[in-house]
Amino acid sequence: MGSDGVSVVRTEVDGHESALRGLLLDYYEFADREARAYFDELTGIDIEAAVEDDIDRLESAAVDDPLFLARDGDRIVGSVQLKRLDETTAEVKRLYVTPDYRGTGIGQRLMAELLDGAERDGFETLRLGVGPSLDAARSLYEDLGFEYTSRYDQSGAPEAVGDEWGFMRRSLD
């Protein structure tokens, strides 16, 4: 699949719940498989509960329009979220592109929109966490100027992942 007909928009969750729920289910199933394959001590997550937590967080977000969607017609083929951590810092959450659209630049486009939006919102710093097996995501973040740093309190990453999880930050000024 190409990305020629794909548009990227910043929006709120209202009106996108059903499609977003499906995309998040795919995301969490993928993330759960990757995490359990890499970390023997992880036993899996309650995927349905994780999706509902994400939808709830987005609906009550402390950021206007916290959701960035890649759409090919009526189909959502990728997304990324912006979460406020404090007055000057936000977190990049759940960058995901469906398998049939990977390698087409959609992840790059989603992140470019998020970076522009975060800067317009007045954030000075972005943080994120990325799994150890996600080489393409790590490379994308590095190309966008994110640098590895220590774990941050609000990351939500399980203790079991220890130092193998990649924690990154980028200044927006």
Q: What is the rounded average pLDDT of the residues 126-133? A: 90
Answer whether residue 101 shows pLDDT above 90.
yes
> Strand, helix or coil at 156?
coil
When the pLDDT of each residue in the chain is averaged and rounded to a whole number, the result is 89
Q: What is the DSSP string of 44-60?
A: ---HHHHHHHHHHHHHT
Percent of the chain at pLDDT exceeding 90: 62
- Residue 106 maps to a domain: yes
Angstrom CA distances, 44 to 18, 51, 108, 138, 147, stand at 24, 14, 29, 22, 28
155 within domain boundaries: no
Domain assignment of residue 31, yes or no: yes
Does residue 68 lie within any of the structural domains? yes
Q: What is the CA radius of gyration of the chain?
A: 15
Tokens of 139: 């490379």
CB atoms within 10 A of CB 161: 19
pLDDT band at 102 (very low <50, low <70, confident <90, very high): very high
The average pLDDT across 36-45 equals 67
Nearest residue to 14 (alpha-carbon basis) of 67, 53, 83, 51:
67
Of 89, 143, 163, 80, the C-alpha closest to 121 is 89
Overall domain count for the chain: 1
pLDDT tier, 43 (very low <50, low <70, confident <90, very high otherwise): low
Containing domain of residue 90, as a range? 6-123
Above pLDDT 70, what percent of the chain?
A: 91
Neighbours of 164 (CB within 10 A): 11
Least confident segment among 63-72, 81-90, 150-159: 150-159
Dihedrals phi, psi of 96, to nearest 5 degrees? -150, 135
> Does residue 53 sit within a domain?
yes
Contact present, 5 and 73 (Cβ < 8 Å): yes
Q: What pLDDT band is residue 171 in, cutting at 50, 70 and 90?
A: very high
Q: What is the CATH number of the domain that holds 19?
A: 3.40.630.30
pLDDT tier at 33, thresholds 50, 70, 90: confident
Q: What pLDDT does 59 receive? A: 87
Find the range with the poorest average confidence among 3-17, 89-103, 117-131: 3-17
Please say whether the dihedral angle defined by the alpha carbons of residues 11, 129, 135 and 49, taken in this order, is positive or negative: negative
1 within a domain of the structure (yes/no): no
pLDDT at residue 45 is higher than 80: no
Range with the lowest mean pLDDT among 22-26, 54-58, 121-125, 154-158?
154-158
- Please, which pLDDT band fits residue 47 given cuts at 50, 70 and 90? confident
